[in-house]
Structure 1
Amino acid sequence: MAKVLCVLYDDPIDGYPTSYARDDLPRVDHYPGGQTTPTPQGTDFTPGHLLGSVSGGLGLRQFLESRGHTLVVTSDKDQDGSVFDRELPDADVVISQPFWPAYLTADRIARAKNLKLAITAGIGSDHVDLDAAIARGVTVAEVTYSNSISVAEHVVMMTLSLVRNYLPSHQWVLDGGWNIADCVARSYDLEGMHVGTVAAGRIGTAVLRRLAPFDVKLHYTDNHRLPESVEQELGLTFHPSAADMVPYCDVVTINAPLHPQTEGLFDEKLIGAMKRGAYLINTARAKICDRDAVDHALRSGQLAGYAGDVWYPQPAGPDHPWRTMPHHGMTPHISGSTLSAQARYAAGTREILESWFAGAPIRDEYLIVDKGALAGTGAHSYSTATPAAR
């Protein structure tokens, strides 16, 4: 029997919900391109319910415990002596979400003598040291595409929010004011602007498709160039690198995975090469941007706005400068954890577990590391510091 250690974010401050704003979810059975949504043999949860918090447990408790497995669910993951660290040494499986990541460092993987499988309930497995997982033969899997559209919608929302100066305008209403001049002094139309994405994978392409109807000029850079038919359909301009692209753009959105080639990409130099007054949207990973460079660029006016929902570390401390820098639209890491997305990534987590317990292959699109090497989606999207693993 296996021990499954699941790290999830805390329940709402007023307790686990007893009712919800909506009664159902639209049915989605496939993603753009044809990949089917998760297809587990069964589920023990109601789609649209809160599954990503501790009490929700990703809907896994009945499934696991009825088969004799042990499930430990906690939100306590970071401080010395955390529940996560205490339970990790004999855990066979670790599950966490990018929004509340259980950082599986090389040291923790070395101490987890029984660890065989690390699952990301969602997308983005950079909180796992992939080199250490490769060296130890730990399989790493994530529920690819489960919340890609959720994140893409968040990018569009944040883009419009910054350009139209929505959040400060809403604050005037909350404060009892009617300060139209204050609201519109930083408000512009998105129409006609040049918008570029760093990476045009599932999320980046979905962002491009959703912004095209706004009559913007679309740009992208990616290690894998899109088909010519897609470039023509959306009127895309390809650039070989982010440095080549950003001088043309009024809005830049980052939709790349974090790996050695993207960490620290948006530093003082690259941000300084952007148009003065450009907007930067980052729902990918915080460490793709230099923390202090973003703060300085907002204070100097080089950037007109920065929005995202990714931080490092997560959760961010109360003194993190991104909480107090001007002209930002930061949220906690929520873009991919809508109730709609939770239903998909909970089902996908169960599908991965069903395959693993049965000794059956895990879907190739879910795999990041397998059999001591990058695999599946991981081989396409990630790089490692280990040359032999590339």
Structure 2
Amino acid sequence: MPTKRLSVVVTRRLPDVVETRMKELFDVSLREDDTPMTRAEMVEAVGRADVLVPTITDEIDAGLLGQAGNQLKLIANYGSGVDHIDVSTARQRGILVSNTPGVSADDTADMALALMLAVTRRIPEGLERMKAGDWTGWAPTALLGTRMHGKRLGILGMGRIGQAVARRARAFGMQIHYHNRHRLREETEAAFEATYWESLDQMVARMDVISINCPHTPSTFHLMNARRLKLLKKDAVLVNTSRGEVIDENALVRQLEAGALGGAGLDVFEHGAEVNPRLRELPGVVLTPHMGSATQEGRVEMGEKVIINIKTFDDGHRPPDQVIPAML
């Protein structure tokens, strides 16, 4: 007699190959359109699913978890960040949480370097001129930017993504500096010729470019606050491909409006898709729509990790990418 398949609810559209494989393995409910579920739909989903597969656009808070059925035993997040999930409450209710770490490190690091280049070399301004037909030819002083070679890059968060950023920045001839909860091993530090700063204040005050690559946790919320942003050099560039909540966005806008920063490249925003309209009007600011991990290869790999986590759980074992509160 065949065993009963796990009931799996997926909250957003995933790559076809991932959805097809899930359909083969589980009793899966797929999303018809690519819009976030409403709160009512989320309540219905946790009320019937054995496994929920959410994304960053889904708020899995204590209130929602309180309405989950007893059958919900795993939240297999599609993505590495889990700041949208109340992991502690889930654990208290006997619900495991897993994620997809490491998959998007190279893709996000590529985006960080792309934003650095876009800001320092004024690429969007050049693109606008070409599209508008305003270019009349080469001129010695037109659209002068700054070179990246020789600049000091301060990396805030030297995990997988931070190290991937460092590896690319070294190829551009940048000097690597970093601040992290824990200092890297000596051989890792030596490979990047990296300088460690225990004091974040001391590091940011000396850097030409700051790249934010730490996760959003209670301890990193507004880590780049108004006071710390004022420590940056007047021509410094700030790049964020991590989480918008790490920066006090209003304070950043004020610094940029005052001409106290050289520019910013932002792929994430403090209030998600509600981007501060003042940011759109500022020169030297490049905004992208949270696309740091948006590659076909990365999205499929994320889906494969989700499937492995669910299948391992279904086989009676701990998901390989289980998240516990102590990790956050």
TM-score, scaled relative to structure 2: 0.90
Aligned residue among 173, 179, 182 for 2:130: 173
Aligned residue among 181, 197, 201 for 1:223: 181
Letter in 2 for 1:106: A
Alpha-carbon distance between aligned partners in 1 of 2:36 and 2:85, rounded to the nearest angstrom: 14
Correspondence 1:7 to 2:8: no
Structure 1 unaligned blocks of 5 or more: 9-53, 383-390
User: What's the counterpart of residue 29 of structure 2?
Assistant: 71
User: What's the counterpart of residue 59 of structure 1?
Assistant: 18
Identity %: 24
| Paired residues, number | 321
User: What's the counterpart of residue 12 of structure 1?
Assistant: none
Letter in 1 for 2:151: M
Structure 2 unaligned blocks of 5 or more: none
Aligned residue among 59, 63, 67 for 1:107: 63
Shift of 1:142: 1.0
Alpha-carbon distance between aligned partners in 1 of 2:163 and 2:123, rounded to the nearest angstrom: 25
Shift of 1:77: 3.1
Aligned residue among 203, 206, 212 for 1:248: 206
Aligned residue among 241, 248, 251 for 1:293: 251
Alpha-carbon distance between aligned partners in 1 of 2:103 and 2:17, rounded to the nearest angstrom: 14
Alpha-carbon distance between aligned partners in 2 of 1:191 and 1:67, rounded to the nearest angstrom: 50
Alpha-carbon distance between aligned partners in 1 of 2:282 and 2:288, rounded to the nearest angstrom: 13
Q: Equivalent residue of 1:303, what SS?
A: coil
Query: Given the superposition, is the C-alpha separation of residues 90 and 233 from structure 1 closer, same or farther in structure 2, using an over 3 Å criterion?
Result: same
Shift of 1:127: 1.2
List per-residue Cα deviations over 1:5-46 (Å, max 9, x = no partner). 2122xxxxxxxxxxxxxxxxxxxxxxxxxxxxxxxxxxxxxx
Q: Equivalent residue of 1:111, what SS?
A: coil
Letter in 1 for 2:252: V
Q: Equivalent residue of 1:281, what SS?
A: strand
Alpha-carbon distance between aligned partners in 2 of 1:298 and 1:181, rounded to the nearest angstrom: 27
Shift of 1:156: 0.9
Please tell me whether the aligned partners of residues 119 and 142 of structure 1 are also in contact (alpha carbons under 8 angstroms). Answer: yes
Shift of 1:290: 0.8
Query: Given the superposition, is the C-alpha separation of residues 131 and 96 from structure 1 closer, same or farther in structure 2, using an over 3 Å criterion?
Result: same
List per-residue Cα deviations over 1:297-341 (Å, max 9, x = no partner). 111112221112112443x13665444444221111111121110
Alignment RMSD (CA, Å): 2.3
Alpha-carbon distance between aligned partners in 1 of 2:74 and 2:19, rounded to the nearest angstrom: 16
User: What's the counterpart of residue 357 of structure 1?
Assistant: 314
Aligned residue among 288, 302, 317 for 2:260: 302
Alpha-carbon distance between aligned partners in 2 of 1:305 and 1:222, rounded to the nearest angstrom: 24
Alpha-carbon distance between aligned partners in 2 of 1:174 and 1:291, rounded to the nearest angstrom: 30
Shift of 1:195: 0.6
Aligned residue among 270, 290, 294 for 1:333: 290
Q: Equivalent residue of 1:60, what SS?
A: helix
Alpha-carbon distance between aligned partners in 2 of 1:7 and 1:325, rounded to the nearest angstrom: 35
Alpha-carbon distance between aligned partners in 1 of 2:30 and 2:146, rounded to the nearest angstrom: 49
Aligned residue among 73, 90, 97 for 1:116: 73
TM-score, scaled relative to structure 1: 0.76
Query: Given the superposition, is the C-alpha separation of residues 92 and 182 from structure 1 closer, same or farther in structure 2, using an over 3 Å criterion?
Result: farther
